[in-house]
Amino acid sequence: MRRIVSIDLSNPMAIPLMGYLESLPFVSVEKEKKTFEEAAKECDAISVDEFFTEVRRRINEHYDKLKNA
């Protein structure tokens, strides 16, 4: 028999409980997987277009400073 249990890890009391459950030989804990979009949003990722626009801007700014020096 198999049961699925959801534990809210934002509760401080859940951390010791998870540690205990993971230590049991007859328990397997599956980590919740994030989607790509969720992971990207979490780390404030930007799109490829935004990235290259910023890189080009910085390159142009750098060479403009060299020309004016």
Distance CA 32, CA 34 (A): 7
Distance CA 49, CA 38 (A): 19
pLDDT of residue 45: 92
Would the pTM of this model clear 0.75, i.e. be above it?
Answer: no
**Residues 6 or more apart whose Cβ sits within 8 Å of residue 29:** 18, 21, 22
List, for residues 28-58, the tens digit of each pLDDT value.
Answer: 888 878 888 888 888 889 999 999 999 999 9
pLDDT at 69 over 80: no
The answer to the question of residue 53 being in a domain is yes
Asked if the structure places residue 51 within a domain, the reply is yes
- Rounded to whole angstroms, the maximal C-alpha distance in the chain is 75
| Number of domains observed in the structure of the chain | 1
- Which range of residues forms the domain containing residue 66? 44-69
